Amino acid sequence: MSIPVFAPWDDPLAHPLIQFKNVSKRFGQFTAIDDLTIDIFEREFFALLGPSGCGKTTLMRMLAGFEAPSEGQILLAGQDIAAVPPNLRSVNMMFQSYALFPHLSIWDNIAFGLRRERLPKDQIEERVTEMLRLTRMESFARRKPHQISGGQRQRVALARSLAKAPKLLLLDEPLGALDKKLRQETQFELMDIQEKTGTTFVIVTHDQEEAMTVASRVAVMDHGKIVQVATPDKIYEEPNSVYVADFIGEVNIIKGTAKPDGEASFAVTWSDTAPPLTALSQTTFSADQDCHLAIRPEKIAISADKPEDAANAVQGKVLDIAYLGNISTYHVELPTGAIIKAQTANTRRISRRAFTWEDTVWLSWTASAGVLLAN
Amino acid sequence: MNRMSWFNTVSLTLGFAFLYIPMVILIVYSFNESKLVTVWGGFSPKWYGELLKNEAFLTAAWVTFKVAVASSTLATVLGTMAAYVLVRGGRFFGRTLFSGMIYAPLVMPEVITGLSLLLLFIGIGLDRGVLTIVLAHTTFSMCFVSVVVSSRLVTFDRSLEEAALDLGCTGSEAFRLVTLPIIAPAVISGWLLAFTLSLDDLVIASFTSGPAATTLPIKIFSAVRLGVSPEINALSTIMIAIVAVGVSIASLVTKYQMTRQMKEEQEAERN
């Protein structure tokens, strides 16, 4: 039995839950969001990723209702929400600082939103208990926020924002305050909760690993624009620009000029002395067009002898070795002076490592390993 | 415990002597048997008894108390509102000017404040009495409240208010249910400050009081001009006692709460 793939963005009939239509936001002279158009679908876990100041937080605050767009429209389930104040939107937000009310107990924090709806007492009680169970905080209900740990506060903040069963949940750097191990655990918890509740999540983060882990689609932002929106694997394997390739993970960028040499295949001239590299690309490049070949370090093999059948092979000298435990990254200097990073999994113990500093090695990769980018 | 160096011991002694010797002398002489203030005639609490029979002092004390409660409450409401608008109101025309102007009464000589209020009350034909003192005290203590409250609001995490709005509060509900309970300690200390300021104000009160209403500081001041009586010493001692007890309780409670919160936070992180 095959599980249907969740990909409403490929379905032309699907109705987006959120639509940004040519939205711009300016603060005085500064343009935070620049003519942005994007659709987000129901049940999606959508990540906004970018460096600080790229406009991702502004985008989220416009969804929550704390900022109004200077131009353009934001539709939620087909309705323009510009005139709807934050307290009347069926959108809830989990704040970066968690913003738990310090004078209220955990129970009262979670019940806060429900009480504003004037729900009957037993319904509130039921819903709060459910939320406490969902976030495994049952035994802390009577405590105040300062009496629980950072990780627990994060779960309470999540429970509080989910209590009103919003159509859309916004998460502003939700795991920023947690240490790395706890963060990884919590990422899976978040995904689990998102699936259980079926809520649409929009998460803002500057941590690319986090975005890749949790999101169904990732939008990479820069200077108020979305550079690329795609699933995590597409963003990683098929970035549409050097900016995206460089922002997500590690990458080697080799500058050169392209020349078509067959069906979707190009020869990349990158140095006066070395033979051209071969790269496959669906995008066409004209002869002598400037291009960038982006190759992930883990797609580059490192060997002592020149591999016979490799499409691309270059020789160099080991400059540096970064040992990360599970993997090692070799920084190899080519005769041209360029430095290429190659990664290998440390399947053997370190004492059996094949290469060391100053060794002459061969780097090789297939024609389809890299991505040819125009800019 | 570290032993203190002789230098520290001397500075501490000198400092505290400077601060407290006058008060200690006053307290000691309030238990003086003799009617002459400067001659020690043996221990006796009789002046405290005399004080209770002195109608004029009791009336003045009651007026002072009423004025302090009314003016500090009014000042707290107005001062908190002003602080909230100046810190939270965003940018509006003349905001910087207003923020500066609200602090001006802090440095304004009391004589000027008193005189200008007197002129105002005469101008609008308001008879001087309890009401005018209350209004005058509200005017000058409001800025103190606003300073205390706005310094708390500046460090207040704005996202708490946004979270309240996000969870369905209207603006006024967010203020009532979230902002006010959290800034309550600052509001209360603002009230206490306004209360004490009103309690011991002499200058402004003497400009704005009428024959119908005399506050305790005015009464004491006029009584002392006719010569210091042991009764005044007794009255002052009572005032010192009230203030001392109030301050000690307030600081003990704050200290207890802080240590408890710190302990609970440490415990929460350990588990």
A326 assigned to some structural domain? yes
For residue A1, pLDDT beyond 70: no
Mean pLDDT of A276-282: 87
pLDDT of residue B223: 85
Percent pLDDT > 90 in chain A is 54
pLDDT of residue A2: 65
Decide if B181 touches A, using CB distance below 8 A.
Answer: yes
- Which residues from chain A sit within 8 angstroms of residue B261, using beta carbons? 146
pLDDT of residue B88: 82
How do the residues of chain A divide into helix, strand and coil, expressed in percent and rounded to 5? 25, 35, 40
A216 assigned to some structural domain? yes
Whether A97 sits inside 8 A of B157 (CB atoms) is yes
Does residue A101 sit in the same domain as residue A178?
Answer: yes
Whether B166 sits inside 8 A of A87 (CB atoms) is yes
Mean pLDDT of B115-137: 92
Give every strand in the sheet of A71-76, ordered side by side: A30-40, A18-27, A71-76, A79-80
Percent pLDDT > 70 in chain A is 98
For residue B100, pLDDT beyond 90: no
pLDDT digits (tens, 9 = 90+) for B2-29: 677 899 999 999 999 999 999 998 898 8
Question: What does the mean pLDDT of chain B come to?
Answer: 88
* Residue boundaries of the structural domains of chain B: 28-252
Facing B167 at nearest CB: one of A65, A112, A152 = A112
Burial class (CB in 10 A: 0-12, 13-18, 19+), B71: buried
Which pLDDT band holds residue B116 (cuts at 50, 70, 90)?
Answer: very high
| Domain end (from A226, A243, A260) | A243
What's the gap between Cα B230 and its chain centre? 26
Does residue A97 sit in the same domain as residue A228?
Answer: yes
Q: Are A77 and A234 in contact (CB under 8 A)?
A: no
Mean pLDDT of A209-224: 92
| Domain end (from A243, A270, A292) | A243
Does residue A282 sit in the same domain as residue A167?
Answer: no
Name which of B119, B102, B121 is nearest B111 in CA terms: B119
Does residue A164 sit in the same domain as residue A258?
Answer: no
Percent pLDDT > 70 in chain B is 99
pLDDT of residue B1: 55
Strand A45-49 and strand A217-222: the pairing is parallel
For residue A272, pLDDT beyond 90: no
**Residue labelled with tokens 């109004």:** A68
Domain limits for position A262: 250-373
Provide the shortest C-alpha distance from residue B185 to chain A (in Å). 12
Does residue A269 sit in the same domain as residue A362?
Answer: yes
For residue A111, pLDDT beyond 90: yes
Decide if B120 touches A, using CB distance below 8 A.
Answer: no
For residue B147, pLDDT beyond 80: yes
| Domain end (from A243, A269, A302) | A243
Which pLDDT band holds residue B91 (cuts at 50, 70, 90)?
Answer: confident
pLDDT of residue A170: 95
Facing A87 at nearest CB: one of B160, B169, B269 = B169
For residue A260, pLDDT beyond 70: yes
Whether B157 sits inside 8 A of A112 (CB atoms) is no
For residue B254, pLDDT beyond 80: yes
Whether B182 sits inside 8 A of A95 (CB atoms) is no
Does residue A33 sit in the same domain as residue A70?
Answer: yes
Does residue A363 sit in the same domain as residue A234?
Answer: no
A2 assigned to some structural domain? no
Strand A301-303 and strand A289-295: the pairing is unpaired
Mean pLDDT of B133-150: 92
pLDDT digits (tens, 9 = 90+) for B168-217: 999 899 999 999 999 998 999 899 889 988 988 999 999 998 887 889 99
Facing B166 at nearest CB: one of A92, A103, A117 = A92
A131 assigned to some structural domain? yes
Does residue A147 sit in the same domain as residue A105?
Answer: yes
pLDDT of residue B267: 81
Q: What is the CATH number of the domain that holds A66?
A: 3.40.50.300
pTM above 0.90, yes or no: no
Burial class (CB in 10 A: 0-12, 13-18, 19+), B187: buried
Does residue A213 sit in the same domain as residue A261?
Answer: no
Does residue A155 sit in the same domain as residue A272?
Answer: no
pLDDT of residue A352: 65
Mean pLDDT of A341-346: 90
Decide if B143 touches A, using CB distance below 8 A.
Answer: no
Q: What is the CATH number of the domain that holds A268?
A: 2.40.50.100
Decide if B90 touches A, using CB distance below 8 A.
Answer: no
**Residue A30, amino acid:** F
How do the residues of chain B divide into helix, strand and coil, expressed in percent and rounded to 5? 80, 0, 20
CATH code of B28-252, in short, is 1.10.3720.10
Mean pLDDT of A204-222: 91
pLDDT of residue A343: 92
pLDDT of residue A261: 84
Which pLDDT band holds residue B250 (cuts at 50, 70, 90)?
Answer: confident
- Top pLDDT among B212 and A210 is at A210
Q: Alpha-carbon distance A156 to A92, whole Å?
A: 14
Sign of the torsion angle spanned by Cα atoms B258, B149, B201, B65: negative
Domains identified in chain A, total number: 2
pLDDT of residue B271: 64
Decide if B172 touches A, using CB distance below 8 A.
Answer: no
Whether B168 sits inside 8 A of A149 (CB atoms) is no
Number of A:B CB contacts under 8 A?
A: 73
Whether A96 sits inside 8 A of B159 (CB atoms) is yes
Q: Which token pair is B50?
A: 């005399």
Helices assigned H by DSSP within A27-120: 56-64, 106-116
Mean pLDDT of B236-240: 88
Name which of A55, A78, A56 is nearest A170 in CA terms: A56
pLDDT of residue A65: 92
Task: Kindly give the interhelix angle for B130-154 and B55-88, rounded to the nearest 10 degrees.
Answer: 40
